[in-house]
Amino acid sequence: MDPKQKELNLTTIKEVLRQYLHDKNFRNTPERYTILEEIYNMDHHFNVDDLYLLMMQKKYHVSKATIYNTIEIFLDAGLIRKHQFGEKTLTSSSYEKSYFDKQHDHLVIYKKDSDKEIQEIIEFCDPRIQGIKDAIEDAFGVNIDSHSLYFYGTKKD
């Protein structure tokens, strides 16, 4: 992404966070902005451990409790989304930045003969899904705001 656009995006999401914290009467701590910036500099999905390690590598000391708490805030503020990639361990929910992203879906590929160990996650966008959404809206007379679709599998031989 062009650096100017990236800078502009960071300004936008920080403003979204500032407004959210203000509206909810939450403390406006600088570490929340640092964590948000790190997330928006990433180009992939992450879990709490990844984020914790990244912050450590940057010599930025935050507790895991702070990261968990901050993630809940970002989720509620619509800045990130949570994923169900079906990992076995309950502690490893995945997340990704979501504020500017186009809707996309995920294909989760597990390693063969493993206990749901993830080999790869592919993001895809299939316009037919929009068609299904339109048809469901018409059939049931509703407005659909979001959807969640995951395919899980293993590589063919």
Is the CA virtual torsion 86, 17, 1, 128 positive or negative? positive
Least Å distance between CB 110 and Zn ion? 17
Binding stretches for Zn ion (CB under 5 A): 96, 123
Residue 151 buriedness (CB in 10 A; 0-12 / 13-18 / 19+) = exposed
Report the residue number, 123 or 126, with the smaller CB distance to Zn ion.
123
Least Å distance between CB 91 and Zn ion? 20
Residue 21 buriedness (CB in 10 A; 0-12 / 13-18 / 19+) = middle
Least Å distance between CB 4 and Zn ion? 25
Task: Answer yes or no: are the C-beta atoms of 47 and 93 closer than 8 Å.
Answer: yes
User: Is 147 marked within a binding site?
Assistant: yes
Report the residue number, 141 or 153, with the smaller CB distance to Zn ion.
153
Report the residue number, 117 or 123, with the smaller CB distance to Zn ion.
123
Pull the structure tokens for residue 104. Answer: 């996309």
Report the residue number, 68 or 124, with the smaller CB distance to Zn ion.
124
- Give Cα separations from 130 to 104, 105, 153 (angstroms): 11, 12, 23
Q: Is 141 left (phi over 0), alpha (psi -120 to 50) or beta?
A: left
Annotated binding site: 105, 147
Annotated binding site for Fe cation: 105, 147
